[in-house]
Chains A and B, each alone.
Chain A
Amino acid sequence: MIRRQIAVVGAGMAAARLTAQLFARDPGAAVTLFGDEAYAPYNRALLADVLTGRLPAGTIGLPSSAAQVRTGVEVVAVDTAARTLESADGSIAGYDTLVFATGSNPVLPPIRNLHCTSNTGEGGELKQGVHAFRTLADCARLAAAVPGARRAVVIGGGILGVSAARALAALGLPVEIVHQAPYLMERHLDEDGGAALHRALDRLGVAVYAENRAKSLHGTDRAEGVTLANGYRLDADLVVLACGARPRVGLARAAGLEVRTGIVVDDGMAASAPDVYAIGDCTEHRGVVHGLSGPAWEQADVLAARLCGAEAAYTGSRVGARLTAGPVEIAAFGDVDPVAGGAHDVIRLADPTRGSYKKLVLRGDRLVGAILVGDLATVGALTHAYERDEPVPADPLHLLIPQGAPQ
Chain B
Amino acid sequence: MIESPTPQSGQTSANSTAPAARRLVLVGHGMVGQRFLEALVERDGGGAWQVTVLCEEPRAAYDRVHLTSYFSGMSADELSMVPAGFMDEHGIDLRLGDPAVAVDREARTVTARSGETFGYDALVLATGSYPFVPPVPGHDADGCFVYRTIEDLEAIEAWAKTAKTGAVVGGGLLGLEAAGALRAMGLDTHVVEFAPRLMAIQIDAGGGEALRRKIEELGVTVHAGAGTQEIGVADGRARTMALSNGETLDVDLVVFSAGVRPRDQLARDSGLAVGERGGIVVDESCRTSDPAVWAIGECALACDGRVYGLVAPGYQMAETVAHELTGGAKAFTGADTSTKLKLLGVDVASFGDAHGAAEGCLEVLYSNSRAGVYKKLVVSADGRLLGGVLVGDAGSYDLLRPLCLAGSPLPAPPEQLVLPESAGGPVAIGASALPDEALVCSCHNVSKGAIRAAVAEQGCADVPAVKKCTRAGTGCGSCVKMLTTIVQDELAANGVEVAKGLCEHFEHTRAELFEIVQVRGITSFTRLIEEHGTGLGCDVCKPAVASILASLSNGHILDGEQAALQDTNDHFLANLQRNGSYSVVPRIPGGEITPEGLITIGEIARDFGLYTKITGGQRIDMFGASVDQLPLIWARLVAAGFESGHAYGKALRTVKSCVGETWCRYGVQDSVGLAIELELRYRGLRSPHKLKSAVSGCARECAEAQSKDFGVIATSAGWNLYIGGNGGMTPRHADLLASDLDRETLIRTIDRFLMFYIRTADRLERTAPWVERMEGGLDHLRAVVMDDSLGICDDLDELMQRHVETYEDEWRATLEDPERLRRFVSFVNAPGTPDPTVTFVAERDQIRPARPGEEGVSLPIEGSVDGPTAGLIAGPTLEVRTS
Contacts and interface: CB of A to CB of B under 8 A. Distances in A.
A351 B865 contact: no
A347 B833 CA distance: 29
Contacts of A384: 627, 823, 825, 827
Contact of B827 (A40, A380, A403): A380
Given A345-B368, A346-B369, A61 B866 contact: yes
Interface in A1-53: 13, 17, 20, 24, 39-40, 42-43, 45-46, 49
Interface residues of B, number: 65
A54 interface: yes
A49 to B, nearest CB: 8
B538 A346 contact: no
A66 interface: yes
Given A63-B869, A293-B833, A319-B829, A350 B423 contact: no
Interface in A372-407: 376-377, 379-381, 383-384, 387-388, 390-391, 393-398, 401, 403-407
A66 B869 contact: yes
Interface string B535-571: 0111100100000000000000000000011011100
B415 to A, nearest CB: 4
Contact of A394 (B537, B576, B577, B690): B537
Interface stretch (A75-83, A111-119, A352-360): A352-360
Interface stretch (A210-218, A222-230, A320-328): A320-328
B195 interface: no
A58 B864 contact: yes
Contacts of B580: 377, 380
Interface stretch (B310-318, B792-800, B855-863): B855-863
Contact of A380 (B575, B835, B839): B835
Interface residues of A, number: 72
A403 B648 CA distance: 14
B830 interface: yes
B70 interface: no
Contacts of A65: 863, 868-869
B271 interface: no
Interface string B422-441: 11100000000000000000
Given A401-B423, A404-B424, A63 B863 contact: yes
A307 interface: no
A388 B829 CA distance: 12
A59 interface: yes
Interface in A300-336: 319-322, 324-325, 329, 331, 333
B364 A294 contact: no
B836 interface: yes
A403 B538 CA distance: 13
Nearest to A376: B837
Given A61-B865, A347-B368, A394-B537, A292 B829 contact: yes
A83 B641 CA distance: 52
A366 B365 CA distance: 23
Given A345-B368, A383-B828, A62 B568 contact: no
B329 to A, nearest CB: 42
A398 B424 CA distance: 11
Contact of B362 (A64, A353, A397, A404): A353
B365 A348 contact: yes
A349 B835 CA distance: 24
B831 A395 contact: no
Contacts of A62: 862-863
A380 B571 CA distance: 13
A394 B564 contact: yes
A298 to B, nearest CB: 8
B648 A406 contact: yes
Given A294-B829, A297-B830, A384-B823, A347 B538 contact: no
A57 B865 contact: yes
A93 B576 CA distance: 52
A139 interface: no
B827 A352 contact: no
Given A294-B830, A349-B419, A61 B867 contact: yes
Interface in B713-751: none
Interface in A87-101: none
Contact of B833 (A43, A63, A379, A397): A43
B613 interface: no
B414 A353 contact: yes
B423 A405 contact: no
Interface in B360-380: 362-370, 379
A362 interface: yes
Contacts of A329: 837
Nearest to B537: A394
A362 B370 contact: yes
A403 B567 contact: yes
B418 interface: yes
A343 B317 CA distance: 49
Contact of B565 (A24, A346, A394): A394
Interface in B625-674: 627, 648
Interface in A147-182: none
B872 interface: yes
B870 interface: yes
Nearest to A317: B829
A404 to B, nearest CB: 7
Given A39-B865, A388-B825, A407 B423 contact: no
Contacts of A43: 830, 833
Contacts of B591: none
B73 interface: no
Nearest to A57: B865
Contacts of B564: 391, 393-394
A75 B187 CA distance: 77
B39 to A, nearest CB: 43
A379 to B, nearest CB: 7
Contacts of A393: 564
A42 B837 contact: no
Contacts of A46: 833
The CB with the most chain A CB atoms within 10 A, among B369, B627, B830, B837, is that of B830
A193 B681 CA distance: 53
The CB with the most chain A CB atoms within 10 A, among B420, B832, B855, B867, is that of B832
A65 B868 CA distance: 7
A45 B831 CA distance: 12
Given A24-B872, A63-B869, A354 B415 contact: yes
Nearest to B373: A347
Contact of A349 (B366, B648, B690, B823): B366
B362 A61 contact: no
A406 B543 CA distance: 14
B422 A63 contact: no
Given A293-B833, A351-B364, A376-B837, A345 B369 contact: yes
Contacts of B855: 54
B423 A395 contact: yes
Nearest to A296: B830
Contact of B364 (A59, A293, A322, A353): A353
Given A351-B415, A388-B822, A395-B538, A40 B866 contact: yes
B413 interface: yes
The CB with the most chain A CB atoms within 10 A, among B413, B577, B828, B835, is that of B828
A348 B648 contact: no
B383 interface: yes
Given A39-B865, A401-B424, 5 more contacts: A40-B866, A63-B869, A63-B870, A325-B836, A350-B363
Chain A to chain B: the 3 pairs with minimum beta-carbon distance, closest first? A61-B865, A63-B869, A325-B836
Interface of B: 362-370, 379, 383, 413-415, 418-420, 422-424, 536-539, 542, 564-565, 567-569, 575-578, 580, 627, 648, 690, 822-823, 825, 827-833, 835-837, 839, 855, 857, 861-870, 872
19 contacts: A20-B872, A40-B865, A40-B866, A45-B830, A58-B865, A60-B865, A62-B862, A66-B869, A321-B829, A324-B836, A349-B365, A351-B365, A351-B415, A353-B364, A362-B370, A395-B422, A397-B423, A403-B567, A404-B424
